[in-house]
Amino acid sequence: MPVTPPIPESVRLEAPIDQRQYLVNGELRTWDGPVSEVYSTISDAEPYAPTVLGSIPTMGEAEALDALEAAMQAYDKGKGVWPTMKVRDRIACMEKFVGQMETKRDRIVQLLMWEIGKSQPDSEKEFDRTVEYIYDTIEEYKQLDRDAAKFSRHDGVYAHIRRGPIGVVLCLGPYNYPLNETFALLIPAIIMGNTTIFKPAKHGVLLITPLLEAFQNSFPKGVVNILFGRGRAVATPIMQSGKVDVLALIGNSASANALQDQHPKSNRLRLVLGLEAKNPAIVLPDADMDLTIRECISGTLSFNGQRCTALKILYVHETVLEEFLERFTKAVDALRFGNPWDPGVSLTPLPEAAKPDYIQELIDDAVAKGAKVMNPKGGQRSANFIWPAVLYPVKPGMRVYEEEQFGPVIPVVPFTDIDQPLDEMAESNYGQQVSLFGKDINTLAPLIDTLANLVCRVNLNSSCQRGPDVYPFTGRKDSAVATLSVHDALRSFSIRTFVAFKDTPLNNETVEALVDAKLSNFISTDYIL
């Protein structure tokens, strides 16, 4: 049984965080309505009981519509201070924000560990990666702006082409990267001149609260509005208004579909979605087994498998199956379980209280249909964890084959003919990434050519991952809509818009005067260094 060690006093929260403030229209308003408690599954209480971390407002339609109104006023039909502001000034606001954010590192890392059970090194990495992402976004935006500081001429028509904001963005992030993934949507949306409404994820909500003041004092009123509550209660009325221009969501396709269906004007709504995946590993007969085991362990189990990029199904060639299973199961059972701050932990408590039962259902279903749990510790339970079970042989029809487990259970599928995993990937609803383990270039070449058409990133002899964040993060089918990366996110949250004029003496004189006078923030050939 995975045993959770006692919790040192040094990591405990000094007091519960009873968050009552929320940010709408530049005001930190105080909530006096109903609240919901925020729990952590991490606990050393005897008998087991989750730890209360604090509470957050349970908001509804009225507050959601207030926030929408504030975002719309800030956009002000395109006339708002923020969407028309000079790029240089928008960047200054973002720099002010990130500078303040950096001072909150310790607190946010502490809350990441408590709220979602992410290990300390990974929580620190999530914070640092997010700060770096913001600085990289600023640099990329400067480059985008420099590239646009010019006029083109074709067929007697001049054009000054830039990327402009789209309007009001509703932003919803996931619990597994409540800071990083949410900000990877929110920050580019803001910097491109959109106005935003943001609701933190269900788990990983308190860690946003140290940033409320920084959001308030860094941006003009109404540019960032932050609400608390259930997604259904808060996001649904905003979508039903038909006044949102972008739905930016990282989560699952069922919630994305439900929300987009609420919007009455589907062509107005732009979607920026990072959704679920079932990324496979394909282990070929000549795979380097040391490396394959190592990468499959981190691919399937970092953050307990709660990553959209996690390896969620392993296809292993029959000729190496025995060796793979023997070594892989040993490696899984040798991992260390503990609380996020315990040194050297790989596996940590699951933040969703119902997750161990769900994983148990997947195991029971697979076993009932002929699979075996291959590792001795597989399926062992504690109050907040279930030890990862390596299930073999897994086949279509088992729930663990079909569903995105998003947690610690590892299905292994044997194959002899490479067409089997390729056909199954083509059939699947998902198409994010794949990991391919092997060396022979004659085998790899045609496989890479096919796999690149089934997913959006083929990882050679390495596990799947989103980073480095400068690379495109996207997927086919139910795995994503639009592309994210430092560069691509700026494109996803903006639209090409331009001023065009015929090459005539009157126009040329007028535009030269416009450029010289620096009266328009849009028509500008200034270089921001």
Q: Which residues bind ligand G3H (CB under 6 A)?
A: 176-177, 181, 307-309, 465-467
Q: Which two tokens stand for residue 401?
A: 């084959």
How far apart are the C-alpha atoms of 124 and 446, rounded to whole Å? 40
Q: At what angle do helices 105-116 and 120-148 cross, to 10 degrees?
A: 120
For residue 208, the minimal CB distance to ligand G3H (Å) is 18
Q: Note whether 512 and 136 are within 8 A (CB).
A: no
In the complex with ligand G3H, which residue's Cβ is closer, 74 or 347? 347
For residue 310, the minimal CB distance to ligand G3H (Å) is 8
CA atoms within 13 A of residue 135's CA, in its CB half-sphere? 9
For residue 338, the minimal CB distance to ligand G3H (Å) is 20
> 131: Cβ–Cβ under 8 A, 6 or more apart, which residues?
98, 101, 102
For residue 375, the minimal CB distance to ligand G3H (Å) is 24
In the complex with ligand G3H, which residue's Cβ is closer, 116 or 283? 116
Q: Note whether 337 and 348 are within 8 A (CB).
A: yes
In the complex with ligand G3H, which residue's Cβ is closer, 299 or 338? 299
For residue 333, the minimal CB distance to ligand G3H (Å) is 23
Quickly tell me which residue has 């292993």 as its tokens: 316
In the complex with ligand G3H, which residue's Cβ is closer, 93 or 451? 451
For residue 509, the minimal CB distance to ligand G3H (Å) is 51
In the complex with ligand G3H, which residue's Cβ is closer, 270 or 466? 466
How far apart are the C-alpha atoms of 387 and 350, rounded to whole Å? 11
Sign of the Cα torsion 116, 109, 464, 273 reads positive
In the complex with ligand G3H, which residue's Cβ is closer, 72 or 409? 409
How far apart are the C-alpha atoms of 7 and 17, rounded to whole Å? 19
Helices (H), 203-350: 212-218, 231-240, 253-262, 289-301, 318-333
For residue 304, the minimal CB distance to ligand G3H (Å) is 12
